Amino acid sequence: MDDISVSARAAQRIGDILKREPPGTMLRLSVEGGGCSGFQYKFDMDRNQASDDTLVRRDDAVVLVDQVSLQFLAGSEIDFVDDLIGASFRVNNPNAKASCGCGTSFAL
């Protein structure tokens, strides 16, 4: 399965964030080189959808993923966790062979 999914907790949080942004704003998830494990996840607000972006929707959450990042994120779930180290979005990525303790970078 190559689809990216959004957990109920993440959808609620993304929806809350997008309601405070200008109309048409979406959350963009991308993968960049760097981080302590080789690649890192990046979350941004974006109002421009490219023609080849993948659009993921759940409830009020709208997430964009570019085609380059999609190959690293296939089958992943975007989640939102609120624990002792803080509240943050986490990507549960079945393609990652290793990840850092903070959950924002990974290795393939």
Q: 31-53 burial, b if ≥16 CB within 10 A, otherwise e?
A: beeebebbbbbebeebeeeeeeb
We report the CATH number of the domain holding residue 37 as 2.60.300.12
pLDDT value of residue 66: 96
Provide mean pLDDT across the span 75-100: 85
Provide mean pLDDT across the span 67-79: 94
pLDDT at 103 over 80: no
Length of the chain: 108
pLDDT tens per residue, range 26-57: 999 999 887 666 788 899 999 999 999 999 99
Residue 94 · residue 80 · CB < 8 Å: no
Q: Which two tokens stand for residue 12?
A: 């609620």
pLDDT value of residue 107: 54
Q: Residue 18: which of 42, 49, 40, 47 has the closest Cα?
A: 47
Q: What is the spatial distance between Cα 80 and Cα 61, in angstroms, rounded to a whole number?
A: 12
pLDDT value of residue 100: 57
Q: What is the spatial distance between Cα 76 and Cα 74, in angstroms, rounded to a whole number?
A: 6
CA 18 to centroid of chain Cα atoms = 14
Q: Residue 31: which of 2, 61, 74, 62 has the closest Cα?
A: 74
- Top mean pLDDT of 7-11, 29-33, 82-86 is at 7-11
Q: How many domains does the chain have?
A: 1
pLDDT at 1 over 50: no
As a whole number, the mean pLDDT across the chain is 87
pLDDT value of residue 2: 65
In the DSSP assignment, the letter for residue 38 is S
- Domain housing 81: 5-107
